[in-house]
Structure 1
C-alpha cells in the first residue's frame, strides 16, 4: 500500500533553486502581513508585491491567498499535514461501521484540529481560520489513496449507507445542515470561546445535536419532499 506524501497547498512543487526561492519569498511575505495584523492587506496582489514577484508568478504556484496562508501554517506546524491526512483516512474507514461513532469522532477530530492550530499559531489562527481551505487541501492531497468528497457529500453518503430508506434528496438536505452546524459552531467557538473546544460538555452537546438531526424521522424522508 502506498504511503501519502506530505500535504502541500501549492499548485505545483518548485524544483529549481530559483523557483524554491520565489515560493519561499511568497510565504515570507504572507508571514509579514500576518504579523502586522491587518486582514485587509492579506490579498494575492499585496503578497506578491511584498514578495517582489509578479502576480503571474504568484498564480503559477498558488491559486489564491488562502492557499499561501494554509502553506504557511502547515510549514510552521511540523507533522500537522500528515495528521490531517491520517484523520481523514481514519474517518473514511470508520464511516462504514457506525453512524453514531463516526459523528462522535468527526466532532472530536474537528475540535482537536482547531485546538492544535490555536496552540501553534495563537492569534494568527484565531484571526484567519475562516479563510483556510483545509477540505480542499486534504481532498487534492489524499485523493490518490482515499475517496474524498466535500464534507457535505461525505455526510450524505454516510447517511445513505446507514439509513438506506432515506431518500437521496432528504439525505442531501440533512447532510448540508449537519456540515453547516459542525463547521459554524466550531468556528464560533474558535472566535468567541476557544476553551470550549477542549470541553467534554461542549463536544458531547455538539455530538448529540448532530446525531439527533442525523437520525430524525420525518414523513418526507422516503418521498424526496422537503419536510415542513
Structure 2
C-alpha cells in the first residue's frame, strides 16, 4: 500500500476500494479485472485509487488481507467451541472450510483457482496455526497415545492435506465429488491419522 489512511474518510475509501476489488474479481476474474473498473465500482477516480495502491497486485494483496481477517474471525469462533470429541471437532473444521470457500459469490473460488500466483502464505499459515491450536485444545483433554510431541508435524501435514485437497476439488470445472463426499472423506482421513 502506497499511503496508509489516517482519517476515517480515507479508511472508508480504502475499504470501498478493497470491496470493489472483490466485486471486480468476481465479475471479471483475476486475469481481466482492472484498476479502472475497481475505481469505477468504488465511485472514485483512478487517481484516487493510485493514492493508496501502486498496482492491481497491491489491491489483490489488500483483498487477501481482508479475506484472511474474515477467515481468522470464523476460525477463532470454531476454536472457542470447546468441543472434546475429535470427530466433531474435525467435522466442524472441515465444514467451516468448505463453507468459507463456497461463500461470497465465487470470490474465494476465483482466488483459489489462482492461489499459486497470489501471496497466499499468510492464509495457509493462519489455517495451520488454527489447526495447531485446535489440536492443542483437544490434547489437553484427550491426550493421544502415540507421539503427542509430534503435534506440530501432524498439524502441518493435516492443514496442507485439507487445504490443498479442498482447493483442488473446488477449482475443478466439473468436479467428480460432491462437497459432502469430500468433507466426509477428509474427516475420515484426519481422524484416522490422528488416532494412528
Match of 1:175 among 152, 155, 165: 155
Unaligned 5+ runs, structure 2: 40-44
SS at match of 1:93: coil
2:80 is matched with which residue?
92
1:112 is matched with which residue?
99
Matches within 5 A, 1:4-23: 15-23=7-15
Unaligned 5+ runs, structure 1: 1-11, 75-80, 140-147, 217-228
Q: 1:149, 1:65 → 2: CA distance?
A: 22
1:28 aligns with 2:20: yes
1:88 shift after superposition: 3.1
Q: How many residues align?
A: 175
Q: TM-score, structure 2 length as denominator?
A: 0.63
Contact 1:156/1:174 (CA < 8 Å) preserved in 2? no
Match of 1:37 among 29, 36, 46: 29
CA deviation vs aligned residue, 1:29-81 (integer Å, no higher than 9, x gap): 564466343438789xxx79x8424767338xxx873332564x79xxxxxx5
2:108 is matched with which residue?
125
2:184 is matched with which residue?
204
Q: 2:82, 2:164 → 1: CA distance?
A: 23
Q: 2:176, 2:108 → 1: CA distance?
A: 11
2:42 is matched with which residue?
none
- Cα RMSD after superposing both structures: 4.4
Q: 1:86, 1:25 → 2: CA distance?
A: 23
Which structure has greater helix proportion? 2
1:142 is matched with which residue?
none
Match of 2:129 among 150, 166, 173: 150
1:215 is matched with which residue?
195
> Taking structure 1 as reference, are residues 149 and 34 closer, same or farther at Cα in structure 2, changes over 3 Å only?
closer
> Taking structure 1 as reference, are residues 94 and 57 closer, same or farther at Cα in structure 2, changes over 3 Å only?
same
1:190 shift after superposition: 1.0
Contact 1:152/1:172 (CA < 8 Å) preserved in 2? no
